[in-house]
């Protein structure tokens, strides 16, 4: 139409991009570990500002057209939104009053990022008090003291986001087949993974020794699938699927594609990202993995599938 123009990414060689780019953990693990801490800082802001929802659905981030976003969070009479932009590599702050601010994403320590982040919130008039220690880590370093995580490779941050973009699309397609209770597709900054979860509708047995986070997350029977880049000691990017509680015999189930396996240590079905990329049709292979692993778990757990699935 006359008067309209389209602007692409600054580098024309990057457009269009591969749907499923290479993402070997060894090539960007230091960036990922740093980014993990940065997303925890932003995620804890959402936790502080948002009222509790079932299964902690008030705390995740969401895949956006530019990166990862908090969605709108209430702050007094206004709304605050914070977004990691992995195209221009900025952290963007937006208020419903019209005020906007951004800080560049570049190689810097978590401590420096945290300090600059607090200054941005104060400049906007929305100081937020958060728990200053990372969660879901074996040996957490308080944000203000963390000088060991200080890497940022913009190319791999962008690649990671592109994998999340396509995974989000496939996960939403998979979700459309289920008419029972199902979560949004959301990014959990504690575990640093993208996930979507289906519910049977039945309460789950109380988990012995569970903390407050786990008790709320697994209060009901679930089958959850997702993608994580290889953190937590696993060392490889992978798609996963698990049931909680896990029904007996799940480890012996046969699923698709053939490259998918059951990891006894994790108690999850795993489809490694490199194996997935080698499939003739990766999109179809991912849907097969999601559907077949769900069916195996739902059958063994005796879910009422006729009432939960779209015909």
pLDDT digits (tens, 9 = 90+) for 159-192: 999 999 999 999 999 999 999 999 999 999 999 9
Whether the predicted pLDDT of 11 surpasses 90: no
Of the listed ranges 5-14, 39-48, 140-149, the one predicted with least confidence: 5-14
Give the whole-angstrom CA distance, residue 303 versus residue 201: 9
What would the pLDDT profile of 237-277 be if each residue is shown by its tens digit? Answer: 999 999 999 999 999 999 999 999 999 999 999 999 999 99
| Spans of all domains in the chain | 22-145, 154-308
Please give the share of the chain, as a percent, with pLDDT higher than 90. 86
Q: 230: alpha, beta or left, given left = phi > 0 and alpha = psi -120 to 50?
A: left
- Helix H segments across 176-253? 212-217
- Region 57-68: mean pLDDT is 97
Average of per-residue pLDDT across 111-139 = 96
pLDDT higher for 11 or 280? 280
Task: Give the tens place of pLDDT for each residue, 89-110.
Answer: 999 999 999 999 999 999 999 9
Counting residues of the chain whose pLDDT is more than 70, the rounded percentage is: 95
pLDDT at 215: 85
Global pTM? 0.93
Alpha carbon distance 293, 42 (integer Å) = 32
Tokens of residue 66, six digits: 């530019």
The per-residue pLDDT for 179 is 97
Torsion of CA 289, 224, 45, 137, to 10 degrees: -90
Over the stretch 293-306, which tens digit does the pLDDT of each residue have?
999 999 999 999 99
When pLDDT is cut at 50, 70 and 90, the band that residue 1 belongs to is very low
pLDDT level of residue 9 (50, 70, 90 thresholds) = low
In this prediction, residue 2 carries a pLDDT of: 52
Coil, strand, or helix at residue 15? Answer: coil
Residue range 43-67: mean pLDDT, rounded: 95
């Amino acid at each position: 139409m006359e008067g309209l123009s389209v602007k692409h990414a600054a580098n024309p060689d990057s457009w269009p991009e591969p749907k499923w780019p290479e993402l070997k953990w060894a090539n960007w693990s230091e960036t990922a570990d740093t980014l993990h801490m940065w997303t925890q800082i932003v995620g804890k802001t959402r936790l502080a500002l948002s009222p509790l929802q079932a299964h902690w659905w008030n705390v995740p981030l969401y895949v956006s057209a530019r990166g990862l976003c908090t969605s709108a969070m209430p702050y007094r009479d206004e709304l605050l939104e914070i977004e990691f932009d992995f195209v221009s590599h900025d952290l963007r702050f937006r208020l419903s009053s019209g005020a906007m601010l951004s800080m560049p994403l570049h190689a810097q320590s978590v401590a420096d990022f945290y300090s600059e982040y607090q200054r941005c919130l104060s400049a906007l008039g929305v100081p937020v008090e958060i728990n200053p220690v990372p969660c879901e880590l074996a040996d957490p370093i308080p944000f203000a003291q963390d000088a060991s995580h200080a890497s940022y490779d913009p190319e791999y941050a962008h690649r990671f986001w592109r994998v999340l973009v396509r995974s989000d699309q496939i996960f939403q397609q998979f979700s459309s087949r289920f008419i029972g209770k199902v979560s949004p597709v959301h990014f959990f900054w504690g575990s640093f993974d993208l996930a979507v979860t289906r519910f049977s509708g039945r309460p789950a047995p109380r988990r012995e020794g569970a903390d407050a986070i786990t008790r709320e997350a697994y209060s009901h029977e679930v089958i959850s699938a997702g993608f994580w880049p290889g953190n937590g000691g696993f060392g490889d990017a992978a798609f996963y699927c698990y049931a909680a509680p896990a029904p007996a015999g799940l480890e012996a189930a046969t699923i698709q594609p053939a490259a998918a396996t059951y990891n006894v240590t994790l108690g999850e079905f795993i489809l490694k990202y490199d194996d997935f990329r080698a499939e003739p049709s990766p999109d179809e292979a991912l849907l097969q993995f999601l559907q077949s692993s769900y069916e195996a778990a739902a059958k063994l757990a005796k879910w009422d599938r006729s009432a939960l699935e779209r015909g």
